[in-house]
Each structure stands twice: as C-alpha cells, then as structure tokens.
Amino acid sequence: MDLQALKNKYDIIGNDPALNEALETAVKFAPTGLSVLIQGESGVGKENVARIIHQFSARRQGAFFAVNCGALPRELVNSELFGHVKGSFTGAVDSRKGYFEEADGGTLFLDEIAELPLESQALLLRVLQSGEYRKVGSNKVEHTDVRIVAATNIHLYEAVKRGKFREDLYFRLSAAQIRIPALRDRKSDIYLLFRKFTSDFSEVNGMCKISLRPDAIRLLEQYRWPGNIRQLQGFTQSLTAQLSVKVTPTLQRIELGAQQLLPFMPREEGEPIPALYEGPQPSQDFNADQRQAIFKAIFDLKQEVDILKARLDRRELPPPPVPPMEEEAEWQGQEDYEEHLPQETSLSVKRKEEDLIRQALEKFHGNRKKAAEELGMSERTLYRKLPPEFRKK
C-alpha cells in the first residue's frame, strides 16, 4: 500500500516529512513482532499509528485493545491488565479476564505507559520476556501471546532517571521507536487539517464550509497548538458552529480574514497571544486596524502581567477587576509599561503610537475629537500623546 492510500484508510491528513517517516517506520515495524514505543505529545494521533502496526502485522485477525494506563485506578491496574479470581479482593464477586487474556493472539496498545505503577511495570516486563503472568489472587501461571505497542507523551528516559519508570522495561520497549511530530512542527499541515475538520463538520450539520484568506492562514499557523490535532479539531468545529450559516443554493462557503479569525483564536493562560504578522520585513507598514490590534494586544498583556504580579505578591487571587471609571482607564499605565521595556522596544512602540495618532489627525484634518474617537481614547489622552508637530496647532 502506498503512503497516500495508507493515510486515506486511516484518515491521516498531512504531508510533513517527519509524519511520513513515522508512518513508513510503522509499516516496517509491523510484520516483525517487535514491541514498539510511540512517542509524541497528547493529541498527535499515536493510537492511529498503533492501529496501523496491528493491521499490517500477522496479528491483524486478532483483537486490538487500546488501554489508557493513566485512566486506570491505581488499585485496580493489575486486575485490569492481568485479571483476577473470585474473592481476591473486596468487590471481586466473580473471576474476571484481564486485557492480556482478552488480547491473546492480538495487539495491546498501552497509552500513557509511564503512568503505570512500578509494581505493574515489573509484571509487564515479565510478560514481555516470557509471556507469563498471574491473575490477582491466583498462584497459577498463565500464558499469553500478545504484542505490546506502548505510547508516551513524556520523555521516558527522564522518568527512568527520576525513578518513576523501570530502566529494564524502558530498554525492552525502546529498541523500536517511532516519534510523531507535534502540530507546531508541521505548520504546512495545519490548514489542511483545518479544511478537513470544517468540511466534515459542515456536511454533518448542513452548514457552509469555512475557508481562510492567506493572512488568516498565517495567523492559524503562528499559534503553537499545545493540544495538537485534537485541539485544532475542537477549535475548527467551534469556529464553524459560531460563524457559519446554513447552506443555500447560492452560498456554499464562507471566507474569513485574519481580523475575523483573531477574536476566536485560543488564549490559554500562559500561552503566547496570537497576533497578526505580515512577514519578516521590518519596514512593512500596517494598516490602522492591524495597528489597533497590536496595541490592544500589548495592553492586554500588560493587564495579565499585573494580575500575575499581584498573585505573586499577595499569594492569593486578586479581586475582580473594577470597571474603568473614565473613558481613558483602559489606556492608563502605558507609560509605566514602556519604562520596563528594552529601550529600543519602548521607542518603537512610542513611534508606532505617534504614527497612528498622526494618521488619524491627518485623516480628520486636525480634528482632535474625531481622531480620538477613531483611536478609541479620550481627547485628554490624545493631547498628552500628540506628536511634536501637532502640539502648536
């Protein structure tokens, strides 16, 4: 099967070289019978790769079970994996098969394997080495023929050095590794995934698909997507639900620019604020709307910094913000903020602000009231920030 056919079969979107390499490696490992360790952040699609390994192996007719080790109650991990006999613990009213018995002859995908307790890791190592295990509460040795595909979203050897993961189990699993790149490292695939998600969601709900203009695509690609594909899918579906409308004979698609997309971009606490960026050229001019968005982002950042400083100073949550009493309240403190910026950055911000004021005044032929309204500030604030050539007018 060629690579594109493989992607189509497993609904994998993207042409990134690192992604292609991961899929090709999975197909190569599949028929060998090796235990495989898949590494990658949450939401990158590790389970899809595990299913590919199973389907391209001699075990394809056997069972495939996906187990999230992080979701198993610690006191029941061994029972879930290896089963238990009746009366082995409180609540064990009947004997029960574990995943290793259920998956005999097939593949067991252990996601978040680093979350397994050390005791369970020792039992897992024994199964990998000899195929032997005991059910909880039983002295009878059982045998199973299960292939293990494990996955982790952390640096597993760091867990070994911290004593959280067995070194011998790590080396047993890590002989065959596959690394899936994070979405932020696959920027060219982000819009492909966006189009797929909005198309699927729109078809199910009878809505217009969302497409993006080049500036909006750049904005989408600049965000780092810490939740990877899973986060992008949820974002796309939410955006489509909020901005799209029902399909009509004359309307099949809605196109968005960066200004329309910006208010909906994710802004998790501590994450970079998405901003419009038109390229690396320092001399490139911004239009008035873009300048306004940039300054608003700076002031929003300043407010967030103040909140964090208050939390550190008082070690408690600050009171709810008081609504501004004056029209210019949201702009106050800008000078203080600029004092803490590097000199070059401060001067750059001040020059950009003066350029914005200058353009507004020229647009309204020196009418300060209209210029202030255009810029969203009071006349008093505008007067205080006037460029030198306007102070005598």
What does the pLDDT average to over 308-321?
50
Question: Token digits for 105?
Answer: 């002859």
Q: State which H helix or E strand residue 178 sits in.
A: strand 177-179
- Flag whether pLDDT at 221 surpasses 60: yes
Q: Residue 53 CA to chain centroid, in angstroms?
A: 25
CA distance 148 to 173: 9
Higher-pLDDT residue of 389 and 8 is 8
Confidence at 326, pLDDT banded by 50, 70, 90: very low
pLDDT at 360: 79
Confidence at 26, pLDDT banded by 50, 70, 90: very high
What does the pLDDT average to over 129-143?
91
- Flag whether pLDDT at 167 surpasses 80: yes
| Sign of the torsion formed by the C-alpha atoms of 214, 220, 223 and 228 | negative
pLDDT at 298: 66
What does the pLDDT average to over 53-65?
96
CA distance 11 to 8: 5
- Flag whether pLDDT at 165 surpasses 90: yes
Contacts of 340 (CB under 8 A, 6+ apart): none
pLDDT at 290: 59
Range among 56-70, 89-103, 279-293, 358-372 rated most confident: 56-70
CA distance 137 to 128: 21
- All structural domains of the chain, each given as residue ranges with its CATH number in brackets, are 3-181 (3.40.50.300), 184-264 (1.10.8.60), 291-390 (no CATH)
- Flag whether pLDDT at 338 surpasses 60: no
CA distance 292 to 384: 18
pLDDT at 288: 53
CA distance 364 to 374: 9
- Please choose, from the candidates 240, 110, 79, 229, the residue with its C-alpha nearest in 3D space to the C-alpha of residue 172: 110
pTM given for the model: 0.66
What does the pLDDT average to over 82-91?
80
What does the pLDDT average to over 368-373?
80
